[in-house]
Amino acid sequence: MAADLASITGMTTPTGLLIGGQWSAGKAGTIPVIDPGTEDSIAEVANATPEEAVEAVGAAYAALPGWAATPPRVRGEALRRAYELMIADADALARLMVLENGKALKDAKAEIVYAAEFFRWFAEEAVRIDGIVKTAPSGANRILVQHQPVGVAVLVTPWNFPAAMATRKIGPALAAGCTVVLKPAKETPLSALAVAAILSDAGVPDGVVNVVPTATAGPVVSAMLADSRVRKLSFTGSTEVGRVLLRTASESIINCSMELGGNAPFLVFADADVDAAVEGAMIAKMRNGGEACTAANRFYVHDAVADEFTQKFAARLAALNVGHGLDEGVDLGPLVNSDTRSKVAELVESATRDGGRLVLGGHAPDRPGYFYAPTVLDNVPATAGILGEEIFGPVAPVVRFTDTDEAIAMANATEYGLVSYVYTKDLRLGIQVSEALESGMVGINRGVVSDPAAPFGGVKQSGLGREGGHEGLLEFTETKYIAVDW
């Protein structure tokens, strides 16, 4: 199986646990990795036990003083080399990602470039960890403020962006001087292991980055969070699991950054450039086949342009080439697994029961793999159940509105608050609406907001903290205040 993988990707991918610079088979057997486009097993990856995860914490703790004392320029240069190695291997890494995640090759290539960019960005940020020196208001002393590495960080990542969610955490952690234990999603451990091998090739010392794939995430992560040597948890995944981990982390008062679920509204106002809105909708909905926390989940379209928007959007979706992510010209691959596909199918059925009109799709193609056809639903009532759930698939429910305040109220009627999209030619309206939307990020006349140089994150139940930008680096630091009488 491993030989097949190497011949398809053109690279050798490690499949063991990485602890203290040593790759090992692990004590609890292996986890099969499934190609969602064929339903076949493509590799077996080592399955870490809680004891092995704690061993990885020990390795990260042992490597911490040396790495924290390594000059920021040297830490940055290692990240910069990792960026260059990822770009040099982009084709092979993208093929590997398609095999374990299912996404179309062009989406996988885009993710590798995006993922590598976190290493380049944080290579630059490593040398910009500023502090403050000021005179106390009383004049009696000076106030010194420094940012020190927070310590050993546990990183838990989802399957939907198997490389970028890892680099978005490893980049700032290493730049700040922290050491890490990464627990990737069991569906997609190969990309994370490949990234770890690249960091090692780039000269990152043994023990600074450890990786523990596991089929038993709960006990493994709990064991690490119970270890007092761990000072940071950075989690990306569902709100449901995030809530459980916040509870666990509260026992040891661990510093937490949480990137959780989304339910992005996509607002198209009456004066919008409809063709531009359709173009943006294609990206906001279809990047990663809809399996993105930033995916447009609810389309609120002004009555005056709703017919034109829905018809043009459905025509673009109908023209997409659905197939195995590695096949030539494919735009949309399968969903990650059969449970995800069942959930998407149930949501579409519930939307039609709630009164939505099926314009396109609404079925799973009859072929191996976890495929679901691009789907558009029009005239979905604002109260429909589908609007309250993360769809995580290629399904676009359209709700019509006539009044700006009504559109804002509907957009905000969710416990999530990650990202929103607004289409209007009136920038004043765009900014006004953006300020009223309860989300951490807004795209105005853009279907994508993600940028390693910008602070990514949500409000409400979409999370705590920010990744990317300078803010992403500060998440891996503690503020130290020193009062000095000099």
**Residue of the chain from 33, 116, 233, 418 that contacts ligand NAD (CB under 6 A):** 418
Q: Does 224 bind ligand NAD (CB under 6 A)?
A: no
Q: Does 157 bind ligand NAD (CB under 6 A)?
A: yes
Task: For ligand NAD, give the closer residue by CB, 134 or 247.
Answer: 247
Q: Assign residue 240 a region: left if phi > 0, alpha if psi is -120 to 50, beta otherwise? A: alpha
Piece in contact with ligand NAD (CB under 6 A), picked from 8-16, 154-162, 358-366, 468-476: 154-162
Interface with ligand NAD (CB under 6 A), residue total: 28
Burial of 325 (0-12, 13-18, 19+ CB in 10 A): buried
Q: Does 218 bind ligand NAD (CB under 6 A)?
A: yes
Task: For ligand NAD, give the closer residue by CB, 258 or 433.
Answer: 258
**Which residues are part of the catalytic machinery?**
259, 293
**Residue of the chain from 111, 117, 227, 259 that contacts ligand NAD (CB under 6 A):** 259
Residue 256 CB, nearest approach to ligand NAD (Å): 13
d(CA 173, CA 168): 9
Q: Interface residues for ligand NAD in 22-41 (CB under 6 A)?
A: none
Q: Does 162 bind ligand NAD (CB under 6 A)?
A: no
Q: Does 156 bind ligand NAD (CB under 6 A)?
A: yes
Task: For ligand NAD, give the closer residue by CB, 150 or 418.
Answer: 418
Task: For ligand NAD, give the closer residue by CB, 184 or 430.
Answer: 184
- Which tokens hold the place of 382? 């604002």
Closest residue to ligand NAD in the complex (CB): 237
Q: Does 185 bind ligand NAD (CB under 6 A)?
A: yes
Q: Does 197 bind ligand NAD (CB under 6 A)?
A: no
Task: For ligand NAD, give the closer residue by CB, 292 or 305.
Answer: 292
Piece in contact with ligand NAD (CB under 6 A), picked from 124-132, 196-204, 238-246, 398-406: 238-246
Q: Does 463 bind ligand NAD (CB under 6 A)?
A: yes
Q: Where on the chain is the footprint of ligand NAD (CB under 6 A)?
A: 156-161, 165, 183, 185-186, 217-218, 221, 236-238, 241, 244-245, 259-262, 293, 390, 418, 458, 463
